[in-house]
Chain A
Amino acid sequence: MDIFKILAFTLVALVVILIVEKTNKEIGILLVLVASICVFLSVFMSVKEIIIVLKKLADGAGINHAYLELLLKVTGIAYLVEIVKNVCMDAGNSTLASKTELAGKVSIAILAIPLITNVVSLIGSVI
């Protein structure tokens, strides 16, 4: 998906959202969400190729596969939390935005715990 189509799509979506938002705000916010999902999904196909290349590099460098899986999980969570947080900020509700951000951070922290224990045990064994 070349960049020009995406930019044109975003500008058209912006104008449409401004028109609809004048009369009813709820559908305007839902439109913002749908537009961001469309742009994200259209770019997402190339993200898959990036992931495949990363996996090849990781195998070549002999990095443990689990770490790359963890990294991809964290990136996925970060993407989704980012989308929801920005939509909440657009709607003017910064409380919800900070709460979704908190939830994203906590879930990423939970995912990273086994990694942290590995590193600590590694350091312990070295010293």
Chain B
Amino acid sequence: MSIDILFKIAGIGILVAVLNQVLSKAGREDQAMLISITGLVIVLMMVVKEISGLFDTVRTTFGL
């Protein structure tokens, strides 16, 4: 029951959103796009780790 990972991902999401706003207001749309992509990649890395944990648990328990 790791709620901290939930808050970590939410933090990254909100940070990316804020940075997006700041950069787009400053007139640098391309960097805003890059920031959102990198934020998404970071979150994806964390989610992949959780998914692999899920699959390993289910595989060992159910003998898949």
A interface, CB within 8 angstroms of B: 1, 5-6, 9, 12-13, 16-17, 19-20, 23-24, 26-28, 30-31, 33-35, 37-38, 40-42, 44, 47-48, 51, 69, 72-73, 75-77, 79-80, 83
**B residues less than 8 Å from A27 (CB atoms):** 9-10, 12-13, 16, 39-40, 43
Cα–Cα, bound, A77→B54 (Å): 12
B interface, CB within 8 angstroms of A: 1-3, 5-7, 9-10, 12-14, 16-17, 20, 36, 39-40, 43-44, 46-47, 50-51, 53-55, 57-59, 61-64
Cα–Cα, bound, A107→B63 (Å): 15
Q: How far is the CB of A64 from chain B (nearest CB, A)?
A: 15
Q: Give the interface SS of chain B, mostly helix, strand, loop or mixed.
A: helix
Interface centre among B1, B5, B40, B44 (most CB of A within 10 A): B1
Whether B62 and A38, one on each chain, are in contact in the complex, defined by CB atoms closer than 8 angstroms, is no
Whether A30 and B43, one on each chain, are in contact in the complex, defined by CB atoms closer than 8 angstroms, is yes
Whether B54 and A73, one on each chain, are in contact in the complex, defined by CB atoms closer than 8 angstroms, is no
Whether B17 and A24, one on each chain, are in contact in the complex, defined by CB atoms closer than 8 angstroms, is yes
Whether B53 and A41, one on each chain, are in contact in the complex, defined by CB atoms closer than 8 angstroms, is yes
Of the candidates A19, A69, A83, the one whose C-beta lies within 8 Å of that of B63 is A69
**B residues less than 8 Å from A12 (CB atoms):** 3, 6
Q: Give the interface SS of chain A, mostly helix, strand, loop or mixed.
A: helix
Whether A37 and B3, one on each chain, are in contact in the complex, defined by CB atoms closer than 8 angstroms, is no
Cα–Cα, bound, A75→B64 (Å): 10
Q: Tell me whether A73 and B40 are in contact in the complex, defined as CB-CB below 8 angstroms, given that A27-B13, A38-B2, A38-B5 are known contacts.
A: no
